[in-house]
Structures are given as C-alpha cells and as structure tokens.
Amino acid sequence: MMSSLSRRRFLNGGVSALGAASLTRALAPLGALAASDASAITVIPLTPKDGGGLTLLQGSGCNVVVLPGPDGALMIDGGLAAHSGALLKAVSGATGTHRIATLINTHWHPEQTGSNEAVGVGGGLIIAHEVTRLYEGRKAYSVCFEGTYGPLPAKARATKTTRTSGSLEFAGQHIDYDYLPAAHTDGDLYIHFPALNLLVTGGPVEGNRWPILDIHNGGWLGGLVRAYEKLATIVKPDTRVVPASGKVLTGADIIRYRDIYQRLFKQMFVFFNHGYGPSDAAAARPLKDHEEELGDASVFVAGAYRSLLQAYVPD
C-alpha cells in the first residue's frame, strides 16, 4: 500500500500553531526522574538458560532485552539514566556477566540511551542507526519529553552505525538488525533473532498503548505504516515480539496492527477532503473499536494527522 507515497512537503504554513502540547504524553521533565533500585526491575526469561538465556527486563523506562556472552552481555536498549545503575545490576544477576559487551540502541530517546555512558566507559560496543548517533551528539527537543535531551558525552555515543541493515554473531546466535525509516523517529532499528523466532521492534510498536510519533524528529504516520508492513514480512503468527514497552506480543498482533494503521492512513485522507484539523480527526474517533485494548486514541490520532499535514502525502 505505502509504496506509492512520496517525500513531498505539504502544508508547512499554519501547522506549528496547532501546538505540541496536545501531542505530548504526560511525562515528567527529564531532570525530575528519580533513581530506582534493582528490586524495581522485573526479570522475565524469554528462553531457558540452556537455550541461550535471552531475558526481558522491565521497569527501567523501556523494555530491555539481554543475552549473556563469554565476554559480557548483549543488551538491546538501556533504560533511563536515572535507572541505569539498577538496570545494570539486574542485568548482571540475570546473565551472570559483569559488563555489557554490546549495546544496541533502537533509537536515541532517553528511555533507550540512559545506559550508553556506562557501557561506553566500560569499553562496550554501541550499535545504532547513523541518524541516532547524530542525535546522541546534539541537543534535541521532542514531543516525547519536556525540555531537551543531549548531547550525550562522547563515550556514550554509538561506535558502530548502519545506514540500512547489519548483523552480528553473539553467543552462538545470528542477530539481524535493520532500519525502519521515519516511523517513531527517523533513526529506528529493529532486531531479529531468527533461530529463536523473536523480534525486538523498538519505538514503532508498543505493547499496551498507542505508539507516539516524534513529529519533530522524523516520525510520521506513513513511516509507521511502512514499518508495520516491513515487520509483517518477517514475523510468523507465533513469533514473539518485544515492543518498546509493555507486554510481549506475537507476530499475529503485528499483522493485526498493520491492518489497523493501514485503514487509519486511508481514513485520514477522507478527513483531509472534509477539511478537518487534528482535533476534528481525534474527535471522529477512527480507532474507537480498539480503544478498549490500547486506551484513548485521541492523542495518537491528533499526532498522526498532524504528521501528515507537515510531512508527506501521496502523489
């Protein structure tokens, strides 16, 4: 469906007056976050120890996936900086290792990069999309948090980047990672463990709420749809899918969400033809049939509509 979309600018004027406040989750300023202890981290085995020991850790700001290796652990995302100490202690307990050998940032937001400095100072390899590394080196605003984030210290920035895709071998596992352009941000990666039939999606997928489109930093509804269309080609119905936060999903969920967002994308252009603004689109409740599962969709719909107004449209 999305192959017909172009990157042509549309309706730049007047969009900024809509205001970012209606699109922002009710998040605390970054400086107001309190540190946690390791007891606040929930540890969920994804595979038995004799099957690789892949583990999900929750409670540090995002879903974190770890895999033990001979020279340290592989970690996907690193939680908020305020929770990094507790998270790394929990990682050590879960993996039996005392360092992070490799960290993959699915994108640059604070929930994903809060352990980067500890990993970098410890000599660990940090992998990210090249756009994520650029954000790690500068101050950025976002609809996802108040104030600004970054720049991160030099040791906290990615040391290996990709423009499209890459792979690595770690602890006997072949691991693929690939780019999801302009979805949640403009630097999103997903990570696939094919032998384990497990996918870590990063920001475009949430387990218990609607995703947020970081419209100041490349996120838009068309990119989100493309991301789900790409992920749908990778998963099987029983693939375990670890989203950015919340419960573990399945490949069948990815297919279902792809269909939801494709229908929403089409509906948005009906709204365009009626002269709607973002608040009108939200009031129409195009996702009302799914709100029992994922909550009130008004913020997501308003942000998605605004992303179309200021970003891209079909030819």
Secondary structure (3-state) at 212: coil
Whether residue 103 has pLDDT greater than 90: yes
**309 φ/ψ angles, rounded to the nearest 5 degrees:** -65, -40
Mean pLDDT (whole number) for 7-19 = 36
Out of 4-8, 77-81, 252-256, 296-300, least confident range: 4-8
The full length of the chain comes to 315
pLDDT digits (tens, 9 = 90+) for 32-82: 456 767 679 999 999 987 778 999 999 999 999 999 999 999 999 999 999
What is the amino acid identity at position 244? A
Mean pLDDT (whole number) for 259-286 = 96
Mean pLDDT (whole number) for 288-300 = 98
**Within a 13 Å sphere around the CA of 25, how many CA atoms are in the beta-carbon half?**
16
Whether residue 312 has pLDDT greater than 70: no
Task: Copy the structure tokens of residue 196.
Answer: 């384990």
| Per-residue CA distances from 254 to 180, 184, 231 (Å) | 14, 15, 7
Domains of the chain, CATH where assigned: 2-310 (3.60.15.10)
Whether residue 276 has pLDDT greater than 60: yes
Mean pLDDT of the chain: 90
User: Which residues, including other chains, have CB under 8 Å from residue 172's CB and lie 6 or more apart?
Assistant: 52
**241 φ/ψ angles, rounded to the nearest 5 degrees:** -120, 120
Whether residue 302 has pLDDT greater than 70: yes
Whether residue 18 has pLDDT greater than 90: no
Residue with tokens 């693929």: 176
Nearest to residue 217, comparing CAs of 189, 242, 246, 181? 181
Mean pLDDT (whole number) for 165-169 = 98
Separation between Cα atoms, residue 257 and residue 304, nearest integer Å: 15
pLDDT band for position 11 (50/70/90)?
A: very low
